[in-house]
Amino acid sequence: MKYGMNNLVLIVGATCVGKTEIAIRLAKHFQSPIISVDSRQFYKELLIGTAVPSATDLNQAKHYFVSNLSIFDYYNASQFEQEAIDLISHLHKKHQTVIACGGSMLYIDVLCQGMDIIPAIDQLVRTDIFSLYKKEGIDPICQQLKIHDPVYYSVVDLKNHKRVIHALEVCLTTGKPYSMFRCGNKKKRPFNIIKIGLFREPLDLYKRINIRIDKMIKNGFLEEAYKVYPYRFLNSLNTIGYKELFRFFDGEYTLNFAIEKIKQNTRIYSRKQMSWFRKDKKINWIYPSNSGEFIISKLLRIIP
């Protein structure tokens, strides 16, 4: 092991862009494990629909935060931050360079710069809000948030029920606006963070998305989704792919229409990811369409 500042090499990019392949190549070069920063892959019941790395991929490098939770577990970005930073500190005792890989924007953010300290939520408050959401949907929760925290209400994506519900939970638990706890203080990490972004032209990326989803269906995604269908109101299942198939099971969609909606919504999500990543001027962009050897040689010139 070389002496000097420890590194975290973070591979980011849109869904289907090829992050896993590059991360494994780097992990093998540095003899490092891989920390997943894809919150959809945390849940052991959701293997096919979240594109968890194959058994072959998992055998090539040790992966953390993959299939480590159940859909019934409560988990949030703050917990991930603490667990991931503790793990990285432990791994850096043996590995000067550790690899991380994923596309979950919030989790990447908290890994790199931390999260504001949010008070623990009263479980009775959580239960009451979830019951209201299950019975009446998100609208009455949005209206309560508007009353308790008009500042956050004016900026939050009101269609993102996870964020709206969490904000109201904090308001009702503490008696204070959620926006008071969002001070935006960035934490300094005791290691270098080298960000590598993978980019493909949109038509190429969309083709890969369509191929992946067709492969998922062929490999049993429908059956996997049906097994968790009785629990469709869980936050862990509010994700692209499962939501559309649930509507097929409800009789709202035909199967072909559900599959096309999965592809469409995945493409939309990929654009949101790229829009978010492009704002980060510290990302070093490469094109994974080049040969693997060329990419690794280029990355090794970036990584100290």
The architecture that CATH gives domain 7-115+186-302 is 3-Layer(aba) Sandwich (3.40)
What value does the mean pLDDT take over residues 18-36? 93
Summarize pLDDT for 37-78 with one digit per residue, the tens: 999 999 999 999 999 999 999 999 999 999 999 999 988 888
Q: Is 53 helix (H, G, I), strand (E, B) or coil?
A: coil
* Domain covering 123-181 in this structure, CATH number: 1.10.20.140
- The per-residue pLDDT for 1 is 39
pLDDT, mean over the chain: 90
Closest among 205, 196, 183 to 277, alpha carbons compared: 196
- A 10 A CB-CB count for 125 gives 16
Contact 117, 181 (CB under 8 A): yes
- The per-residue pLDDT for 218 is 98
Give percent above pLDDT 70 in the chain: 95
Which of the residue ranges 148-152, 245-249, 290-294 would you say has the lowest mean pLDDT? 290-294
- What is the CA angle 79-85-90, rounded to 5? 125
Alpha helix ranges (H) inside the chain: 19-30, 55-60, 77-91, 105-113, 123-136, 139-148, 150-153, 161-174, 202-218, 221-228, 242-249, 255-277, 292-302
- The per-residue pLDDT for 2 is 43
The per-residue b/e assignment along 256-279, b for 16 or more CB within 10 angstroms, e otherwise, is: eebbebbbeebbebbeebbebbee
Most confident of 27-41, 106-120, 124-138, 153-167: 27-41
Q: What is the pairing mode between strands 7-13 and 192-198?
A: parallel
Closest among 4, 5, 66 to 34, alpha carbons compared: 66
Give percent above pLDDT 90 in the chain: 69
Q: Is 124 helix (H, G, I), strand (E, B) or coil?
A: helix
Please report, for the chain, the start and end positions of each structural domain, with discontinuous segments joined by +.
7-115+186-302, 123-181
Paired tokens of 35:
């920390």
pLDDT band at 290 (very low <50, low <70, confident <90, very high): low
Question: From CA 36, how far away is CA 107, in angstroms rounded?
Answer: 10
What value does the mean pLDDT take over residues 170-190? 82
Paired tokens of 143:
């209206």
CB-based contacts of 187, cutoff 8 Å, min separation 6? 113, 114
| φ and ψ at residue 78, rounded to 5 degrees | -65, -40
- The per-residue pLDDT for 3 is 45
Contact 303, 217 (CB under 8 A): no
Which of the residue ranges 43-57, 134-148, 275-289 would you say has the lowest mean pLDDT? 275-289
- The per-residue pLDDT for 162 is 87
The pTM score is 0.80
Alpha helix ranges (H) inside 176-291: 202-218, 221-228, 242-249, 255-277
Contact 182, 205 (CB under 8 A): no
Summarize pLDDT for 230-272 with one digit per residue, the tens: 999 888 898 999 999 999 999 999 999 999 999 999 999 999 9
